[in-house]
Structure 1
């Protein structure tokens, strides 16, 4: 369906983990709609029965559409494109909100909506992630891969349920801001989901992450060959944000690593701000959480993959690190 629009529609992605308070925030944002404007909402429910749409007022001036079943972030793009195209063509909104399921990967959705097809239609605003402040003390909750992936995609983080935060939550909040300062531009504490739309109405900074094959694979390619962007494991990425460089690797979960070799490698790194990882090792699944003050590692539940991420403020020899990382594998020849 070809879209014809006189101007690009300001578009906000309001994401966040399950139960974070996305719909409450969205309700307060919609209440700020000027009388002479039409605002639209595209909501995504992972299941087949929509509930959230019933919580959003259907009064004149709002257009709400639900996309049920699956996740619009990472499933086939066609249902999302059709639903979004119809919503835009039928409603002709002055502002658009998209609320993915709490199980979604908003970075993938943002990547889809910034493709050339949408650039003349959508004016993407800063991606918003809602975080439940009252659960920040729960390490098992905040260390989930999906939770951390959502935070890394955010340019604005809205902390909800601040009236229920304990001293432990407050301390964890300060640590969270420090940990994600390379990613998040603004933090907003929302009392009962109340946020002024102007606080969220800023341009989305271009994505600078490019997922590519492992550097070792790239070095074996002819220089004239274009390096493909990929999304299947194994892969690496390097991105820059706010003066920091973030390098990451995701590797298949079946790959197993020698724990002590891996620990030695991570401890030997220089000039970094943060190192975090989770690996399948010969000592069981282990997580690593290093900051300049302390090197922490512990046994954890099985993960969906092996992964490591290093944040620094200086150039590094990433090919050397990757080579040494792969040398820590058991059965490397597989």
Structure 2
């Protein structure tokens, strides 16, 4: 990729109107731009992929409750597949119970430094929630607001004067001050807010150390444009490993892949594969192979084989290449 993709996180607690806000942004985006959206599959409201696609967006959904913790690997898989389509902007919507700082840590880590230009994190807030201890004592609620560069006070049409006063008081006490604080309805906001800088991109030390460590554990964005696959080997602590990363254009035969992994005599096999029957996660331990279907599609496939013996990696690679085909 020749340039970094401007990226925004749009966060906010459950039911605050993130979906509507993203839809409005897509409706008002420059017509000549292609935007991508990575969103949790599960949530109180969720995003209708068909609706977003109609607005010119590239959509990926990540299963699980928290983008970073619950589904860290699918999160990076989703980001990578969207980046490979070279969008003009990437929007990431964590679940309403998510941890934005951990997602920020992933985006500013070495694996994405050359691909993502992190811009302002936008938090939507229902001002009425500031009057309810159910929210003000919730750690995620406070973390989302603390992580935000821009705060949008949404649903003003249903707020009374007490809620609006509470919002103004809260905003005036923020240290450091937010780059922008806006009151609105239906999640409407200026596109210019997305171009503001991220406090964490400018001062990454504000991210706690364990978040950095967590982020470095995510899969790496390693395929150059036009590169079909890469192979990585490692050894240590009495084990040998070999892993492959295949581009999104490679589609594997599910039946043949299942048969091969069943017969493979390795101590451990882990894979997330793009197949002719959809996306599947494969996990083999103690000779038992388990398979789980995921909702992702058109992404980079990954497989890693681990054993106490050095296996014939060249032969295994040849088999994998035979099982995969390139979409025309």
| TM-score, normalisation: structure 2 | 0.59
Contact 1:211/1:230, CA 8 A, preserved across alignment? no
1:154/1:183 contact within 8 Å kept: no
Match of 1:328 in 2: none
CA RMSD of aligned residues (A): 2.5
Match of 1:10 among 6, 19, 33: 6
Alpha-carbon distance in 2 for matches of 1:41, 1:74:
19
Q: Tell me the alpha carbon deviations over residues 44-79 of structure 1, each in whole angstroms, 9 at most, x when there is no partner.
A: 1346x9941347332273211111123113235321
Aligned residues: 211
The answer for the alignment partner of 1:178 in structure 2 is 172
What is the aligned partner in structure 1 of residue 75 from structure 2? Answer: 80
Unaligned runs of 5+ residues in structure 2 are 215-328
Counterpart of 1:63 (choices 54, 58, 77) is 58
Q: CA deviation at 1:204?
A: 1.3
Q: Which has the higher contact order (CA 8 A, sep 6+)?
A: 2
| Deviating 4+ runs (over 6 angstroms) | 228-231
- After TM superposition, the structure 1 = structure 2 runs for residues 1-334 of structure 1, keeping only pairs within 5 Å, are 5-46=1-42, 51-54=46-49, 56-59=51-54, 61-89=56-84, 91-182=85-176, 184-205=178-199, 206=202, 207-209=204-206, 211=208
Q: After TM superposition, give the deviation of residue 208 of structure 1 in Å.
A: 3.0
Which 5+ residue runs of structure 1 have no aligned equivalent?
214-227, 232-334
Rounded to whole Å, the distance in 2 between the matches of 1:87 and 1:230 is 24
Per-residue deviation, 1:7: 0.6
* Per-residue Cα deviation, 1:190-232 (whole angstroms, up to 9, x for no partner): 222111111221121233325469xxxxxxxxxxxxxx9878x
Q: Secondary structure at the match of 2:111?
A: helix
Which stretch of the first structure deviates more once superposed, 28-37 or 103-112?
Answer: 28-37
| Secondary structure of the corresponding residue to residue 96 of structure 1 | strand
SS in 1 for 2:53: coil
TM-score by length of 1: 0.58
Offset, 1:88: 1.6
SS of corresponding position for 1:64: strand
Relative to structure 1, the CA distance from residue 211 to residue 134 in structure 2 (aligned partners, 3 Å threshold; closer, same or farther) is: closer
Q: Does the 8 Å contact 2:67/2:98 carry over to 1?
A: yes
Q: Distance in 2 between matches of 1:200 and 1:24?
A: 16
Match of 2:273 in 1: none
Q: 1:46 to 1:200 in 2, by over 3 A?
A: same
Q: 1:177 to 1:50 in 2, by over 3 A?
A: closer
SS at match of 2:70: coil
